[in-house]
Amino acid sequence: MVFWHPAGFVLVRAMEDAIRRRLVMDGFVEVLTPQLVRRPVWEASGHWENFRAHMFSFGDRGREEALKPVSCPCHIQIVERMAPSYRDLPIRLAEFGVVHRDEDDGALNGLFRLRQFTQDDGHIFCEKAQIEDEVVRFCASVRALYEAFGFASFSVALSSRPAQRTGDDAMWDLAEQVLDTAARSAGLEPSLQPGEGAFYGPKLEFSLQDRLDRSWQCGTIQLDFAMPERFGLSYVDSQGTKARPVMLHRAILGSIERFLAVLLEHHQRALPPWRAAAAELVALCTPPL
């Protein structure tokens, strides 16, 4: 976990401001959810079964709670209480989600891998027909923001179903095909990473190349049919009946701490003038789409 000194914290806040401006441009609304969430929520999401080894949990049996390793189940709770109709979709929620993961000591690596970090987290709840437009919109934001931070190129990979997963093969076949089609509509040609998807769905992973041609995985967008089903999430469609929304998990930076580490590596610690002028960084990172 990080001790942010004044100069470093200026950078963190400047990056948050840049992302907030991008969120507004992309139609997101910001929310804030609890750090400590009870076990039934993690059981419903599948994390208790599939991610339990990396969660910090507390309490006696029957009253267990865990520090959140992700924010997605919490955002589902918010949407469920909205009782949305098709007119409300897509719903785009964003959060600077402080999350905790019980990483092995050997996996920890400065700002690159921590036990506590901040995701520029966002979730989109939409109809199946809206998936492609949302993925294309996300890819445009990724390109604009990365270029503003000084990265002229990036690579994209499609991570497919892992061995430990939720949902049947038919669901995964559809999710992988839809995400691949959406990526190509955005002008991308993703390489395949077999078995590297999240346990609930496939994902596109965006990796940056620094000045030494090293690759760093940062942004991601994940297509999830499983979690809305597991929570029984629904909306009222145009026929007045209940329908199941699709969920997209997205982050442009991935984590603020990791992205800052990549910036330091890329610029060899000699950050551009916005190191001393956070306002300039905010303006730099918000070019028009």
For the chain, give percent helix, strand, coil, nearest 5: 40, 25, 35
Phi-psi sector, 167: left (phi>0), alpha (psi -120 to 50), beta: left
- Angle between helix axes 6-25 and 256-266 (nearest 10 degrees) is 110
Contact between 162 and 197 (Cβ < 8 Å): yes
Neighbours of 123 (CB within 10 A): 27
Q: Which residues are the active-site residues?
A: 72, 101, 119, 121, 123, 203, 249
Three-state SS across 244-274?
CCEEEEEECCCCHHHHHHHHHHHCCCCCCHH
Torsion of CA 260, 265, 268, 272, to 10 degrees: -30
Length of the chain in terms of residues written: 289
